[in-house]
Amino acid sequence: MREVELVAMGHDSTGTWLKVWKNLIWTAASAILVVTMATKSSTANRIDYLDWLRGFAVLGMFEVHCYDAWLGGSARQSTFFHLTQLSGTVPAPLFIFLSGITFALITTGMRRKGADANKIAARTIRRGAEIFVLGLVFRVQEYVLGQPWAPNTDLARVDVLNLIGLTIMAMGAVSWLFRGRTANALAALGIAAGISMVTPMLWTIWRPQWLPWYIESYINGVHIFDKPQPWLFPLFPWAAFGFAGLAVGFFLFSDWASEHRSQALGIVGAAGVGLYFVSQWFDASPIHLYPVYDYWHTSPNFFLLRVGIVMGVIAAGYAWCRWGLGSMGFSPLKQLGQTSLLVYWVHIEFVYGRFTILTQQAQSIWTATLGLIVITLAMLLLSIVRTKCKGHGSEILAWIRRLPETSMGD
């Protein structure tokens, strides 16, 4: 992670602070415009509990990123810090898993409307390509704003948006090859299992070192280092969460589950609990399939455990939105979930980037927690603004164009 500090500012630095805030507004407004252009046709068929779950995943990412970026000194060696990092093993898998469920929702709807396999594949592969390109744009933005510290190799770093884009494209290809819903679901399960089973080998003795590092990094996250990095998002193992979500999504949007939604989500939750205990049983088994066993990063047992937890969280999220407080009035998590791509994009710059609101790796637990609260409230406000700005893209573009003129005038 980059360690970037804001330049110290004196009491007479009003002009400098004004320029900083203009840059921040420019970043947020530009992100709103880019994301609006990329998601203009993806707002149909919203399901409340899925939005809530996306918001829950985003909130988890805020927590992990803020404490990772800002805690320093003894706080970074504390049990609290390690617990925050442990909790971070859930938000990213949940977010990727939900992309598979959403894919199933969209393709099931298209099938019911009579769309053929070619049209379904074309639409979904195009959508995946859009997200992949957004990931590349995000990397360019981070590189430009990270100057003069950011190395050129950051442009080829594999982030979660790159991973989700490629995974959706692969799902689109699978939906073309396996055209029935049941066949597609079974194929998704097989692919998820296959990815998780082969990951330990691709990270160790089967590493494709003959490939350029920027290609190999999409397979195992090696980047520019001598071994794969667990903080990146290569296809192995992360794409497996998307395909597992795809299989669960086909079940959730089947004809029976559509008429018995509560029972279907109950089955998903119970299956998740079962997978959790099965993973523990496998892990305790004396049988070892791999010469190098890394439970926390490449083990299929850990993958199975996280899938079980994610399925349990999905069932709990549905129950909360169906019978709990999530069903009453305004829900911050639903709001964040409706603009999850935007708030993910923008919060990175406030936490890890040039405009970090706190000096990195130098904060106490209490200060970092205050920063987390500020980031969460700011992103919620940004999400609300994004929602209110729908349909006003031309006005936003005109306002953005006026910002540089105003800045030069100052």
Tens of pLDDT, residues 268-311: 999 999 999 999 999 998 888 898 889 999 999 999 999 999 99
Q: How many residues does the chain have?
A: 410
Q: Quote the DSSP letter at residue 152.
A: G
Instruction: Please give the pLDDT value at position 329.
Output: 78
Question: With 90 as the cut, is the pLDDT of residue 224 above it?
Answer: yes
- Out of 98-107, 108-117, 353-362, 384-393, which region has the weakest mean confidence (pLDDT)? 384-393
Residue 327 pLDDT = 72
Confidence at residue 326, expressed as pLDDT on a 0 to 100 scale: 73
The distance in angstroms from the start CA to the end CA of the chain is 34
The DSSP secondary-structure symbol of 156 reads: G
User: How do the domains of the chain map onto residue ranges?
Assistant: 15-88+324-410, 94-309
Render pLDDT for 147-201 as a digit per residue (tens, 0 to 9).
888 899 999 999 999 999 999 999 999 999 998 889 999 999 999 999 999 999 9
| Residue-level pLDDT at 399 | 62
User: Exposed, middle or buried: residue 261 (CB in 10 Å: 0-12, 13-18, 19+)?
Assistant: middle
Q: 381 burial class (0-12, 13-18, 19+ CB within 10 angstroms)? A: exposed
Q: Are 56 and 94 in contact (CB under 8 A)?
A: yes
Is 389's pLDDT higher than 80? no
The pTM assigned to this predicted structure is 0.86
Most confident of 112-116, 244-248, 399-403: 244-248
Residue 41: what pLDDT? Answer: 43
Dihedral sign for Cα 247, 251, 252, 254, please. Answer: positive
pLDDT value of residue 51: 95
Q: How does DSSP classify residue 74?
A: G
Residue 38 reports pLDDT greater than 80: no
Q: Where are the alpha helices (DSSP H) in 225-339?
A: 235-252, 255-259, 261-284, 300-323, 332-338
Residue 362's φ and ψ, nearest 5 degrees, are: -145, 10
Residues with Cβ < 8 Å from 40, sequence gap 6 or more? Answer: none
What pLDDT does 19 receive?
47
Q: Is the pLDDT of residue 391 over 90?
A: no
Q: Is the pLDDT of residue 15 over 60?
A: no
Residue 33 has pLDDT above 80, yes or no: no
Give the model's pLDDT for residue 242: 97
pLDDT beyond 50 at 90: yes
* Average pLDDT of every residue of the chain: 86
The Cα–Cα gap between 174 and 164 comes to 15
Q: How many CB atoms lie within 10 A of CB 244?
A: 29
- Are the C-beta atoms of 270 and 331 separated by less than 8 Å? no
Calculate mean pLDDT across residues 331-341. Answer: 93
